Amino acid sequence: MTEKKTGFRDRLAARENMLGTFIKTPGVQAIEVLGDVGLDFVVIDAEHAPWDRNAIDLALLAAKAAGIDALVRVESTATILTALDCGATGVMVPHVSTAKIAQEVVDACRYRPGRRGFTNSSRAGRYGRLGLTAHIEANDERTTIIAMLEDPEALDHIEDIVAVDGIDAFFLGRGDLTVALGESATDAAPVKAAIARFVSAVTAAKKPLCAFVNSSAEIPALRALGINTFIISSEQGLLRLAASTELTKFKAI
């Protein structure tokens, strides 16, 4: 077995097998528990769940205390700075459907080259402990950028999107893609064809791929596509599964 690299961004680039989950409920305890369990990372879902800036800040503090990497799925490029200043390992950005949007994402995440607004007074700058240059270098080195491919429009621009320098990995948003294509299942033929086109382009660009799964049973088929990083369910989904399993056992006694 190869030795794991310490940084999440390095591990992603090295195609290490990693497993994380979405965090839907604003709070800290679930993140602490999952860090103690040994998951590789969590993704704070600020796109679809009721996370405000203060809750994100506390959640990232909990992740730091629990020793687990934490990304934030942001609503848009406008909310990237909040996540990074609070100390996120990186961001997942939805609906990256053109190269222009991909470049805007990179610019919002990086200082050099980029246009990330500067402060070293936040957690990301260790509250001023890091000087200007040290803060810029450390954050540009560690910040992980994952672009979500989930729109039919992206199919027309995929070669240009994957060519944008600075995107670390791509996430296959099969759910949104299924809805946008007017289908009712992620294994519908048009969805599978779209995913195959995305996979082909990302693979040709030698970039890592990530995907969501409802359960580990879905992983082997996706791993065959070259995917190594998985987000399994969410803390709510895992809670529901555990509770339902125990309830079924109880009723059988």
Q: Which residue has the tokens 């934030």?
A: 72
Report the first-to-last Cα separation within the chain, whole angstroms.
43
Name the catalytic one among 48, 95, 135, 157. Answer: 48
Three-state DSSP class for residue 198: helix
Answer yes or no: 157 catalytic.
no
* Cα–Cα distance measured from residue 7 to residue 112, given in angstroms and rounded to the nearest whole number: 20
Instruction: Report which of 62, 53, 2 is spatially closest to residue 27, judged by C-alpha positions.
Output: 62
Instruction: Report which of 78, 14, 5 is spatially closest to residue 46, judged by C-alpha positions.
Output: 78
Quick check: bond before 113 cis, omega within 30? Answer: yes
* Cβ contacts of 73 within 8 Å, gap of 6 or more: 22, 43, 44, 45, 46, 47, 48, 91, 92, 93, 94
| Structure tokens given for 227 | 């995917």
Active site residues: 48
